[in-house]
């Protein structure tokens, strides 16, 4: 089982719609969760961090964390063509042999079409 799993997509949504990106993780002691956006040919860029259960909103982005279900999601409201990118879920482990290590999922490709 991969430590962090995401659907690779591609996920295609129309402009103005809500894009929903999902991620599950295997380590129950994970404590820090992040979403990165990566445009083709560029480095990953941090867009959201979340550390406790519930929702966290920042502009058009909402991160949701459910530690009991080991699930973290990212909602993008009013999706724009400029949101088209690969979205990477990342987790920092708080125990075991991977203590403090930042682990990434394989990424979900999002395409927002006009």
The site for another protein (CB under 8 A) is made up of 31-32, 34, 43-46, 49, 88, 90, 92, 94, 97-98, 100-107
* Residue nearer to another protein on the CB measure, 18 or 102: 102
Distance CA 83, CA 78 (A): 10
* Residue nearer to another protein on the CB measure, 16 or 59: 59
8 A C-beta contact, residue 30 and residue 91? yes
Residue 11 CB, shortest distance to another protein, in Å, is 16
Residue 46 CB, shortest distance to another protein, in Å, is 5
* Residue nearer to another protein on the CB measure, 62 or 86: 86
* Residue nearer to another protein on the CB measure, 30 or 79: 30
Structure tokens that stand for 43 in this block: 């480095």
What HEC string does 33-79 produce? EEEEEECCCCCCEEEEEECCCEEEEECCEEEEEECCCCEEEEEECCC
Residue 16 CB, shortest distance to another protein, in Å, is 29
Residue 43 CB, shortest distance to another protein, in Å, is 4
Which of 105, 94, 91 lies closest to 50, judged by CA? 91
């Amino acid at each position: 089982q991969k430590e962090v799993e995401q659907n690779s997509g591609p996920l295609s949504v129309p402009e103005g719609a809500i894009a929903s990106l999902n991620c599950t993780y295997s380590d129950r002691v994970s404590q820090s969760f992040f979403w990165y956006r990566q445009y083709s040919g560029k480095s990953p860029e941090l867009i959201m961090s979340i550390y406790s259960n519930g929702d966290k909103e920042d502009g058009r982005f909402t991160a949701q964390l459910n530690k009991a279900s080991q699930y973290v999601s990212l909602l993008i409201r009013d999706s724009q063509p400029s949101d088209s990118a690969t979205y990477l879920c990342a987790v920092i482990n708080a125990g075991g042999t991977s203590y403090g290590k930042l682990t990434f999922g394989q990424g979900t490709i999002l395409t927002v079409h006009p």
